[in-house]
Amino acid sequence: MKNFLLSFLIILAAFAAGRYFFPAPASVSSPYINAVATTASANRGAPAPRVDPMDVDVVTTPEEERTIRLFQEASPSVCFITTKAIRRSFFSYGEVESGSGSGFIWDREGHVITNFHVVNGANTSSIAVTLANGQTYDASVVGYEKEKDIAVLKIDAPAGDLQPINVGSSQNIRVGQSVYAIGNPFGLDQTLTTGIVSALDREIRSQAGVPIKGAIQTDAAINPGNSGGPLLDSQGELIGVNTSIYSPSGASAGIGFSIPVDVVRYVVNDVIRYGEVRRPVIGADFRQIGQVEGLIVYGVNPNGSAARAGLRGVTQDNRGRYLFGDVLVGINGNRIRTTSDLYLELEKYEPGQVVQLDIIRNNRQDKVELRLESSVGG
């Protein structure tokens, strides 16, 4: 009897402990949970409903919305450019991809603008332009201006597939304003990067080794493959063509340069019309020699403006010794010391304009009036 009573007390204590440590679930009366339970019971065995990510509202700021809209409106004008070159070896002969870059549609006639260095060295029959809609077209080179690193291509595409970029102006750009670059860095097409104008009136070197003055500096990420792509303002208008970066590593270091659109406009218009840029020229060959303060007039075109103005070049005396002629030291009062000075000064003028040359002749200063010629005849 004593053992039975002891066993009963042990079982009773165990039951009480179980109720204490593992209480029964409380009654749930939440309408939401009951509704879910009822729905789950009714749909037991049915597949779980799918949630479309596009149906989920994403909160964006007004500034983000403006950037999104700018990209959506401008990106159809941006192209992906690939080039091929002929490669010869003992075992093979054929075309291989030589590079890639960016460009943009200029007009509905199929003119596409890019950097000269993007297409330089390519087999001109093997330049391909891929539009934003994925269509690829063979391109021909209409012309280029090596000194400004600008090339004009032409594709035969339906006008409906061509959305020309909105061309703005680089006259009133200010440091600190927002800019947007669209291009194909490292072959990744339709890439948008943003930044600000970091500085203005930078001087960079072109592929021809002559200076490009007035370049726009930006911190928008510009990497290999962005070359030839557009730099846009906050209105989505073209203000420059991305052309180079400053980087010890070869990748973006936050210092990129763009050719101002006002330069691009006159280059493109001349190339489309004449096949090259109509530059004002003096009609003489100049040389920078030693410590001479100015440019030696080395040779004079006998049928050009320089000859008509009476400029004198280098000559030889009876003993075969070379004698200096005139030395150019200024144009319209602006000092000329180097060939870069001359190039940048002539950019201010148009063919047909009359300028005054400041020269040194027989160790005396003199002035000569001259009408500038065009580098393109006719």
Known catalytic residues are 117, 149, 227
Strands (E), 121-255: 127-130, 136-145, 150-155, 178-183, 191-205, 211-218, 230-232, 238-245
CA dihedral 67→69→70→72, nearest 10 degrees, is: 120
* Dihedral sign (CA 232, 233, 239, 243): negative
The answer to whether residues 314 and 298 touch, using CB atoms and an 8 Å cutoff, is yes
Say how far apart CA 131 and CA 103 lie, in whole Å. 10
Q: What is the phi/psi pair of residue 155, to 5°?
A: -125, 150
Both structure tokens of 296: 């030696």
3-state secondary structure of 344: helix
* DSSP assignment string, 71-137: HHHHGGGEEEEEEEEEEE-SS-EEEEEEEEEEEEE--TT-EEEE-HHHHTTS-TT-EEEE-TTS-EE
In 257-303, which residue ranges form alpha helices assigned H by DSSP?
261-274
Write the CA distances from 185 to 99, 100, 165, 182, 373, integer angstroms.
12, 9, 19, 9, 41
CA atoms within 13 A on the CB side of 135: 12
